[in-house]
Structure 1
């Protein structure tokens, strides 16, 4: 048990360090190559901050642990909405920009429905992965075209996401490339430790790998989003907090699940298909309804989300 906890803790630390190195190196390289901050924020930062989930799900799939691979994505999306966004709203009520959220609510709801459809197939394979990844490319293109056509709050937010991860001005391409490589290596090793520790912990605790994937692994790989959202609301940047969660959930399904399915087909555990995927769809729908009714997430609504997450984890513990 102690060994598994140390592996999980060490894996999470390496994933966090690796993800940050990768994002900073890639953003710095993009600036040197003349890539716009808007495009960098939409793509590099979006993918980079999802590195922990991606590395973990791919590693779990390759090691034959589908409960962790899929549970990581489904559990992360549930935790992002109920726990992280709920806690953020308790700290500071979140106001929503109707113009920007209209597009992202369609992408968020659509990706959740796609995920349900993919899970109900029973096996996520190459064709499913290609469809999911193609939808992500389409979303990024749609967002980039709409935000670059005219000044808008979402464009400013994506540019700020890239600007929030600066590197010293004199950093050369060789150092930036080294940061990218080091970040990838740290993420790969960290994912390996996390998955190995999660498998051992599931066996020692007498629970399924799916439960560990939906809880310990999912929350652990979502720690960067938790920190980013808390910092954002403390700075009274509620649009950044909301954008982090919505963007992360879209990337988790279309990008992480898509890439993982292309690399290695995943057999969906029956317990996730029968219950947890519907919880994810339900909380996604709840969030969209909450935000579109008054364009605000109040402290009371945030507390309700956190309470629902506590109830969900209790149900998982009772399996």
Structure 2
């Protein structure tokens, strides 16, 4: 069993690798998006979001295949989603022009609402597992998520891609110039190399989470919510904050929504498909999904007011995330036991 200092070193090294790999991947993805003439919202919701969410996908696959700890992957996705929806927009607004982050109707009425739909479909998928594939006693509220059930959120993501594809066609129809200064072959090579760096970082993060769970005798899900989620959220933070500083608020916000949609509808289901199915403990998942849903509703409400995220609203989001951290501290100390 590794010592705590070694596990901390693994976590830090993994976070750095995830950040640097995500940095290279997002830059390459952004340039490829510009080269192929994609609109800003599509670049943020698809290209940048998939790139910056690759650490979450990697952590789920590694945790499942190498350690048999799918709970770590679930925790990483949910914890990262909470961070993305509360912290990243708030920080982006505070560093943006006039300490506010402008929104628009495409973001509020398409991206935000589709994200809320993604949350609902994922909870529905888990509910179907408990109802039709129960495990243990009826009071245990555990269900086996089969591969066919895992296809439900993936099919919804297919609809998301279909919508973004048609937005891209509309954008290209009105575009007068096409960028020609990007070397696509070089950018694709950088993108592939960055994936290898992210995989190495995800391996270290998952290894540290497994080690912390063994040392402290706590749930792997809890360490996925904290250690792995924090490390895998760094690329998302970099993308949105950089876009906000450059005055590209639509891309900054679209990256937040797109990252969470990808993580919920693609990363988690792929982990289930790789595992051949998995047992979901409703009593652990639902409290965290409920908090994520509540946080998302708060974010949706403040974003809709004046179609912008202001300085005061940013502090509301950060305060909500503070409550989340306090909850996790209570879980780790045994004061509460919803996820531990």
Q: Partners of 1:3 and 1:56 in 2: how far apart? A: 19
1:94 alignment partner in structure 2 = 101
Pick closer, same or farther for the CA change 1:206–1:311 going to 2, 3 Å.
Answer: farther
Instruction: Give matches, 1:1-319, under 5 Å.
Output: 1-23=4-26, 35-38=36-39, 43-62=46-65, 63-91=67-95, 92-120=99-127, 121=129, 122-150=143-171, 169=182, 173=185, 178-264=189-275, 265-319=277-331
Q: TM-score, normalized by length of structure 1?
A: 0.83
Pick closer, same or farther for the CA change 1:5–1:270 going to 2, 3 Å.
Answer: farther
Q: Partners of 2:90 and 2:25 in 1: how far apart? A: 28
Q: State the shift of 1:20 in Å.
A: 4.1
Q: State the shift of 1:24 in Å.
A: 5.3
Q: State the shift of 1:89 in Å.
A: 3.0
Q: TM-score, normalized by length of structure 2?
A: 0.79
Pick closer, same or farther for the CA change 1:237–1:170 going to 2, 3 Å.
Answer: closer
Pick closer, same or farther for the CA change 1:179–1:124 going to 2, 3 Å.
Answer: farther
SS in 2 for 1:294: helix
Q: State the shift of 1:104 in Å.
A: 1.1
SS in 2 for 1:207: coil
Q: Which 10-residue stretch deviates more, 80-89 or 105-114?
A: 80-89
Aligned CA-pair RMSD? 3.1
Structure 1 residues 259-310: Cα deviation after superposition (integer angstroms, max 9, x where no partner): 2222122322445324111111111122222222332222212111111111
SS in 1 for 2:68: coil
Q: Report if the CA contact (8 A) 1:11-1:192 is conserved.
A: yes
Could you list the runs of 5+ residues in structure 2 that have no partner in the other structure?
A: 130-142, 332-340
Structure 1 residues 110-149: Cα deviation after superposition (integer angstroms, max 9, x where no partner): 0011122233333333123222122112111112213422
Q: Report if the CA contact (8 A) 2:70-2:271 is conserved.
A: no
Q: Partners of 1:228 and 1:87 in 2: how far apart? A: 12
Q: State the shift of 1:26 in Å.
A: 6.3
